[in-house]
Amino acid sequence: MTPLVTTEWLAAELGKSDLRVIDATVLAPGMKGDARAAFEAAHIPGAVFFDLDEIVDTATDVPHMLPPAEKFASRMQALGLGDGSRIVVYDDSPLHSSARAWWMLGLFGAHEVAILDGGLAKWHSEGRQMESGKPVVRHRHFTVWADKKNVRTQAQMLENLKTKAEQVVDARSAARFAGTEPEPRENLRGGHIPGSKNLPIGLLFNEDGTWKQGEALQSAFTAAGVDIAKPIVTTCGSGITAAVIYFGATLLGAKNLALYDGSWSEWGASPTNPVVTGAA
Which stretch of DSSP H or E encloses residue 152?
strand 151-152
Q: What is the pLDDT of the chain when averaged over all its residues?
A: 95
pLDDT band at 30 (very low <50, low <70, confident <90, very high): confident
Q: Are 134 and 8 in the same domain?
A: yes
Residue 111 among the catalytic residues: no
Residue 114 in domain: yes
Domain count, the chain: 2
- Are 153 and 140 in the same domain? no
Position 138 scores a pLDDT of: 85
Domain final residue pick, 109, 125, 146: 146
Q: Is residue 29 scored above 80 in pLDDT?
A: no
- pLDDT, residue 10, reads 98
Model pTM above 0.85? yes
Query: Is the pLDDT assigned to residue 231 strictly greater than 90?
Result: yes
Element spanning 87, H or E: strand 86-90
CB-CB neighbours of 241 under 10 Å: 30
Q: How far is 185 from 201, CA to CA, in rounded Å? A: 19
Find the CATH number of the domain harbouring 172.
3.40.250.10
CA distance 202 to 95: 9
Lowest mean pLDDT among 7-16, 66-75, 183-192, 208-217: 183-192
For residue 252, the model assigns a pLDDT of 98
What mean pLDDT is predicted for residues 172-185? 94
131 and 161 share one domain? no
Q: Which residues contact 121 (CB under 8 A, 6 or more apart)?
A: 92, 209
In a domain? residue 278: no
Among 55, 66, 76, 236, the one annotated catalytic: 236
Q: Which domain covers residue 116, as residue numbers?
A: 4-146
Sort strands 48-49 and 197-198 into parallel, antiparallel or unpaired: unpaired
C-alpha to C-alpha distance for 82 and 139, rounded to whole angstroms? 8
Mean pLDDT of 50-73: 94
Domain stops at, among 120, 146, 172:
146
With the CA atoms of 252, 257, 263 and 268 taken in that order, what torsion angle do they form, in degrees rounded to the nearest 10? Answer: -100
Distance CA 192, CA 275 (A): 6
